[in-house]
Structure 1
Amino acid sequence: MDKVELLYFDGCPGYRKAEQSLKDALSREGIRSRVELVAVNTDEEAGALKLPGSPTIRVNGRDLFPSSTGEREDWRLSCRVYATPEGLKDHPTGEMIQAALRRSPVRAPDASGEPCSRKGVQGEDAGAGAEDAWSSELFGVPFRTLLSREVNRFLKVWTQTLLSPLLTSALYVVVFGYGLGSRIREVEGVPYLQFILPGLILLSVITASYGNASTSLFDAKRERYIDDVLISPMTPLQMALAYVGGGVLRGMLVGAGTFVLAIPLAGLPAERPLLLLVAGLATSVAFASLGVVAGVLATRIDHIFFLSAIVLQPLTFLGGVFYSAEMLPAPLRVATYADPIFYAVDAFRFAAVGVSDVSPYPALAALGVFAVLAFWGTTELLRRGYKLRY
């Protein structure tokens, strides 16, 4: 039977809830284990915990994860994780613990009475090496756990996060497509409704990607569960991939839904489906990354909407969603050519209906550079830890 020790600083409130939460989590996973509380009272032991009031989990005499300092292998958790009746249920830290326990080198005996082994790895040293490898994997359990939380976050309220943008896109189609389309027959030889639909699809991708990443990061700061991510064995790159990945997935789902909606409304073709996918994905990565940056920089929820209003909205309307750049006077045309959204819309429109204002492949290259720079900036900001405390 596994032995799970919870080391806690004596001043930590709620450690009894921590004990019960661990027992409940293990029971749900079908893991037979014995949970013990170990009080830490001396200055030397308390210093080894790094943070007062932060319990450490130890399984079968071995701490779960190596610390970044290398002074001592430990795993720190905020006491407030256990302040709710549900404890570790549906909490990313709890999911990490459960996953780590499932990968523990010593498990409960199987039906034959022999201890379970993992992929034929025997012994404490072999198990420790597997644990270290698991902790350092780029797409390992810590990353997948945080990404899963990001995805579940918007799927739980899918009517708000997925259905609502589709209704907004449908209204744009009715007002601009059918309303103006009756007056503007064609643009660059393409029916006006088909001309604006690629831009409307990309607009929904941008809005969903940015909104998901920015509000998720801000909520994590405001509710203080960003602390549990920061003290986990995740690297800044893993954090960026998880937060941006959640925004990208939501943006692509909304974009795909809008595209499906556009087929019966306007018979929108997809002349170059691979290019369509690449342009949509690069756009989603770029604006999900900017959303993470906005979430980090914001100290109030108003700041997120303010940045959206003064930066994102003007860029959108200057991005050629509703018109061709050739229709503008020279000063506004220069502003449009300086807008990164313009190149995203132009490449996406070329992939969908085969028309563009500029050469599509340089536009796609510019979009790719913009996405890479935005993601790099996001990773660097998370690495520095700037304003990650609310």
Structure 2
Amino acid sequence: MHDFANMGTRRFGRVNWLGLATLCSREMQRFMAVWTQTLLAPLATAGLFLVIFTIAIGPTRGDVMGVPFTHFIAPGILMMTVIQNAFANSSSSIVIGKVQGNIVDTLMPPLSPAELVVGYLVGSVGRGLFVAAAISVGLAIFVGIVPQHPLMLLGYVILGGAFMGAVGIVAGIYANKFDQMAAITNFVVTPLAFLSGTFYSVDALPPVLRQITYFNPIFYLIDGARYAVLGVSDSAPALGAVISLGSTLAVSGIALAMFTRGYRLKA
């Protein structure tokens, strides 16, 4: 796709800061331009989840891990919304560009594969942060939940946005049309998100399912957010942070390799 053998000799240096900043700005402006769809809609969806589960289960369900059921599911809904939107941001940007035939406008400028990955990740993390901030304000006003460890929550939101942003890049590069992307979303992303302990503690699962859950990287994002907000968790927060960071680096490496090879990007 590009000749990156002489990256150190590019006239603007090893890093094309202007090009990278432009790509980051474009990815941020993509979701800000339709904020009612990308920011307001996720807030409404998260609110509906909370209301429905509170009305349907809350009155008959006792405390979970020592906290009310509504409080227990709130951080999981927050993180689940963040990761879904982070995935949608990067995956939709790439697959729309491929379908419309203008992905070349992103690939032709003198941007290295690493710069492309970072640019898309910034957009995903940015959208995730906006969504998390909106939901956090809503939880504080309507549920009375204030994070016990706000900096930890910020860190997990960034990790969640980066991880699912990287997954979105891989999915966007792999998918050549919208129905392929829909299949990835419906059969991979959504099940992993819903089967990650968002609405239950893994201690309630049978031993086999519990062990399977421990292999789901989204579980550690949900669990880490729950600890940051409520101070309770199914696993050690430090372990979750390490696994989340490792998963993000691993998937980002795959995305980097796909851009470097031009996998499913070359005409």
What's the TM-score once normalised by structure 1's chain length? 0.65
Which of 81, 84, 88 in structure 2 is aligned with 1:211?
A: 88
Q: Which residue of 2 aligns with 1:171?
A: 48
CA gap of 1:188–1:224, structure 2 versus 1, over 3 A, is same
Q: Which residue of 1 aligns with 2:240?
A: 363
Matched, 1:348 2:225: yes
Q: Deviations over 1:187-220 (max 9, x none)?
A: 0111111110110000110110000100100111
CA gap of 1:365–1:304, structure 2 versus 1, over 3 A, is same
Q: Does the CA contact (< 8 Å) of 1:147 and 1:242 recur in 2? A: yes
SS at structure 1 position matched to 2:199: coil
Q: Which residue of 1 aligns with 2:123?
A: 246
Q: Distance in 2 between matches of 1:303 and 1:375?
A: 21
Q: Deviations over 1:328-377 (max 9, x none)?
A: 12222122112111111111111110001112211111111111111121
Q: Distance in 1 between matches of 2:225 and 2:262?
A: 35
Q: Does the CA contact (< 8 Å) of 1:318 and 1:335 recur in 2? A: no
Matched, 1:259 2:136: yes
Q: What percent of counterpart residues are identical? A: 34
Matches within 5 A, 1:269-348: 269-348=146-225
Matches within 5 A, 1:97-136: 132=11, 135-136=12-13
Q: Distance in 1 between matches of 2:54 and 2:126?
A: 27
Q: Which residue of 2 aligns with 1:186?
A: 63
1:137 Cα deviation after fit: 5.2
Which structure has greater strand proportion? 1
Matched, 1:225 2:106: no
Q: Distance in 2 between matches of 1:387 and 1:180?
A: 46
> AA paired with 1:348?
A
Larger radius of gyration: 1
SS at structure 1 position matched to 2:176: coil
Q: Distance in 2 between matches of 1:68 and 1:277?
A: 35
1:225 Cα deviation after fit: 2.0
> AA paired with 2:25?
S
Question: CA-atom RMSD, angstroms?
Answer: 1.8
Q: Does the CA contact (< 8 Å) of 1:270 and 1:276 recur in 2? A: yes
> AA paired with 1:369?
G
Structure 1 gaps, min length 5: 1-66, 71-128
Matched, 1:235 2:112: yes
CA gap of 1:68–1:370, structure 2 versus 1, over 3 A, is closer
Which of 1, 21, 29 in structure 2 is aligned with 1:144?
A: 21
SS at structure 2 position matched to 1:187: coil
1:269 Cα deviation after fit: 2.4
Q: Deviations over 1:279-298 (max 9, x none)?
A: 11111100000001110000
Q: Does the CA contact (< 8 Å) of 1:194 and 1:268 recur in 2? A: yes
Q: Distance in 1 between matches of 2:52 and 2:252?
A: 35
Q: Distance in 2 between matches of 1:229 and 1:188?
A: 48
What's the TM-score once normalised by structure 2's chain length? 0.93
Q: Does the CA contact (< 8 Å) of 1:177 and 1:196 recur in 2? A: no
SS at structure 2 position matched to 1:356: coil
Q: How many residues in Structure 1 have an aligned counterpart in Structure 2? A: 263
Q: Which residue of 2 aligns with 1:93?
A: none
Q: Deviations over 1:95-116 (max 9, x none)?
A: xxxxxxxxxxxxxxxxxxxxxx
Which structure has greater helix proportion? 2
Q: Deviations over 1:62-99 (max 9, x none)?
A: xxxxx8688xxxxxxxxxxxxxxxxxxxxxxxxxxxxx
Q: Does the CA contact (< 8 Å) of 1:178 and 1:193 recur in 2? A: no
1:311 Cα deviation after fit: 0.8
Structure 2 gaps, min length 5: none
